[in-house]
Structure 1
Amino acid sequence: MPTDAYPGVGRRIAYQRRLARMTQQQLADVAGASLGTVRKIERGERNPSEEMLEAFADAMGVDAAVLRYDAEPTRTSVHAALPDLSAAIATYDLPEDGPVRPLSALRAAVSEAARWRVAAQYTRITRRLPDLLAELARAYHAASGADRTELAQLLVRAYRSADAVAYKFGAHDLSARLIDLMRWAAAETADPVTAATVAYVRTETFFAARAHAAGLRALEQALDKAPTPDCTRQVAARGALHMRAAVIAGRAADTTAAQLHMAEARVLADRLPEGVYCGTAFGPDSVRAHEVSVAVSLGRDHLARALDIAHEWKPPTDLPAERRSGFYIELARVQLWSGQPDHAFESLKVARHIAPQHTREHPWVRQDVAVVRRLKRADAESLSNFAEWCAAS
């Protein structure tokens, strides 16, 4: 449908931009548009394409339907697209006939989806991944030799991008199915680093089930099987496992294990520059961010450590958006528990600015905003708007 069929779209974009506390230049930068284009659209002099409309929605952390129509839907387009992801994996072993692009094009498409994942661009993932997953399955079953092995690797990466959406949006059964497929495809690669990466992602199922002690055992078994860290990929994979083991050990109230795994992660991080390795951000900055995660998991006497870290250090802008926003979401929880509701709200606003979709769908954000509203009897308009935006009760 052409966007000129949506009267007032420019006005709604301008309203949501102001609600998100973004300038026109910031919206243009995040959405990949020019400042002049944003200005013309908001003045009603130009209609955005459907793709641009969704880019604006992604940038502001709202559903595109909010920009198309005056009434906000109860379900976002991401939620509505989850059945398409489910259907795409239902026939992973018996894919329907269809076109298959060259391996180089599939490689590029999977890498693009991975970039959307770490940037928390979930709408883009749900728009492209169902067809890509079906195409990769067709390519995999028709291939042989080295091509088949590489396609198994690509399937692991693509399933991980799809899983990020399923898990963040609360579709935990779909997330578990995607992780099972990641484990199947990883076995086809016979690559121990890929297996370690899948073990890292699999921890989501233990978080969702609150089976923290079992999740810690699974990660420690994965560490036992992980290769000796002799190259960059191996160092990063082992370090990521230790980071995640530290967090889930904290959730299991195992302080000793949390501290031991965090110490191992620091040692490995010192051997690498910060970067995204095999789809996971790892390095000194990621470890520092995870120290806050561990402090939140352990709670009580460990909260002061998280506040000290936040006082001394802030996530650099080259850290992936999802990880940076996660840091501020967790910092907000520490600040709230430490009797600093105003600071907590400021941290949540920073998280929203960095990765709106990630922040809006995070259950802690809804919980913590609701608590801040109860603590602040004179409810500020900005706090009310934020609570409405993330559907806090």
Structure 2
Amino acid sequence: MVAGLAGVNAEYVGQIERGQRTPSLDVVEAIANALGVTVTNLVTDATDPSPMAADIRLASELHQSLLLGASRDGEPETSLVELRERVDHAWDTWQGVSDRYSRLAALIPGLIGDVVRVCETGRTAGTEEQRLAADAYTLLRTVARRINRPDLALVAADRGRRAAELADDPIRLAGARWNLAHALLAQQEPQTAEEIALAAIAELRPGGDRDTLAMTGALWLTAAVAAARCRRKFVALERVEEHAALLAERTGETNVGRAAFGPANVALHLVSIELEDGQAANALAVADRIDPAPMASRERHTTLALDLARGHALRFEAGASLLHLLQAERTSPEELRYNPAAHDTIRRVFHRARPSLRSQVTGLAQRVGIEEQIVADHTLS
């Protein structure tokens, strides 16, 4: 009956109920509408929490708020001071806590609604309203990319760019272009992303200001990633080593524009470029020299652990890879649930692991929510 009301094949709904299929956001919203409940109520069960619940809730809230509008009728006006605190708190949550997806699912709807509302009354260039909007949309782009919604990431990035242009703030404008370039990378458009990053660098004209140097360095890293995606490894390495690395020596670890630019992030990008090129030994050699302690973002700690895991997996070193996967899980268990690259690494380790390790890999796959897929793949291989 529910399948008919939702316009979904009954067998498909049965597979979802048995845990054999993960529904798309459109299907989840159709079933929720048929049942007369919210998406949050549909996917959240206090007695049996689904590892995909936070992912689906966030995607739904972003979709409704960005594309359909967020109604805040009847609620009291939010002061700029309060809204600034909420935006900063949301960013701190994203960069600093292990269950960031679950927490942001509760924060995002009201935050977007209030940001949209204050921007409608603050269209004058240079206003604090536009600065707030630029910061909020940068966060939304980051979140959307992480939950595999590059379409929403591009919408958020474009709105952030428009807000930054009205804010009359060169650093925020550069940050918004950095943000837009990353959204385009997620859309598999590295050449356009590269053009935007290089144009933003040219406009900044860095002097002695630390914020400007940091934002310039972050843009050089983005341009390097774009070159690597275009299979121009040596151009990518040149941009990191001859531009970003030199700037990082001058700035130290920073978090300007929430880009977490600094020596550690420069090294992480070198690791990523080597992995992109299939050079696992080079990637591990760079990664082993990284001191994660100064990194401002928990996300960067998780990224390092996952890169180390991937590098060891590519070298068929299942035990070492598993150790780093478990470290990533301790740092941010939700990240492993939603990260396709992490899932691929877990699969590699499962297929290569000795019997004495396989039970640990199976346990990790179960916690991440991909055990059935991995076992099925292994049975067929």
Change (3 A) 1:96 1:137: farther
- TM-superposed CA distance for 1:195, in Å, is 1.9
> Is 1:242–1:262's contact at 8 Å kept on the other side of the alignment?
yes
Change (3 A) 1:328 1:248: farther
> Is 1:276–1:282's contact at 8 Å kept on the other side of the alignment?
yes
In structure 1, the residue matched to 2:149 is: 171
- TM-superposed CA distance for 1:293, in Å, is 1.5
- TM-superposed CA distance for 1:377, in Å, is 5.2
2:184 is aligned with 1:206: yes
2:245 is aligned with 1:260: no
- TM-superposed CA distance for 1:107, in Å, is 1.1
Partner of 1:210, secondary structure, is: coil
> Is 1:289–1:315's contact at 8 Å kept on the other side of the alignment?
no
Alignment counterpart, residue 285 of structure 2, candidates 297, 308, 315: 308
In structure 2, the residue matched to 1:43 is: none
Change (3 A) 1:113 1:365: same
Structure 2 counterpart of 1:141, one-letter code: E
Following superposition of structure 1 onto structure 2, how do residues 53-202 of structure 1 map, counting pairs within 5 Å? 65=44, 68-69=46-47, 71-73=48-50, 75-90=52-67, 98-119=75-96, 121-143=100-122, 149-202=127-180
Structure 1 counterpart of 2:353, one-letter code: K
Structure 1 unmatched ranges of 5 or more: 1-63
| Partners of 2:188 and 2:146 in 1: CA distance | 16
Structure 2 counterpart of 1:330, one-letter code: D
> Is 1:243–1:262's contact at 8 Å kept on the other side of the alignment?
yes
- TM-superposed CA distance for 1:337, in Å, is 1.3
Structure 1 counterpart of 2:261, one-letter code: F
2:340 is aligned with 1:371: no
Q: Structure 1 stretches (4+) deviating beyond 6 angstroms?
A: 91-95
| Partners of 2:259 and 2:51 in 1: CA distance | 32
In structure 1, the residue matched to 2:31 is: none
Alignment counterpart, residue 343 of structure 1, candidates 316, 320, 329: 320
Partner of 1:250, secondary structure, is: helix
| Partners of 2:326 and 2:198 in 1: CA distance | 36
Structure 2 unmatched ranges of 5 or more: 1-42, 374-381
> Is 2:305–2:327's contact at 8 Å kept on the other side of the alignment?
yes
In structure 1, the residue matched to 2:217 is: 239
TM-score by length of structure 2 reads 0.78
> Is 1:325–1:359's contact at 8 Å kept on the other side of the alignment?
no
In structure 1, the residue matched to 2:362 is: 384
Partner of 1:281, secondary structure, is: coil
Change (3 A) 1:356 1:74: closer
* Partner deviation per Cα, 1:164-222 (whole Å, 9 max, x = no partner): 22211112211111111111211211322212212222233333233333332332222
| Partners of 2:233 and 2:134 in 1: CA distance | 33
* Aligned residues between the structures: 325
- TM-superposed CA distance for 1:158, in Å, is 1.2
Change (3 A) 1:93 1:181: farther
| Partners of 1:375 and 1:91 in 2: CA distance | 46
Structure 2 counterpart of 1:326, one-letter code: T
Alignment counterpart, residue 274 of structure 1, candidates 253, 264, 269: 253
Partner of 1:314, secondary structure, is: coil
TM-score by length of structure 1 reads 0.76
| Partners of 1:201 and 1:371 in 2: CA distance | 32
> Is 1:100–1:138's contact at 8 Å kept on the other side of the alignment?
no
> Is 1:96–1:138's contact at 8 Å kept on the other side of the alignment?
no
2:309 is aligned with 1:324: no
Alignment counterpart, residue 353 of structure 1, candidates 330, 333, 338: 330
In structure 1, the residue matched to 2:229 is: 251
2:289 is aligned with 1:284: no
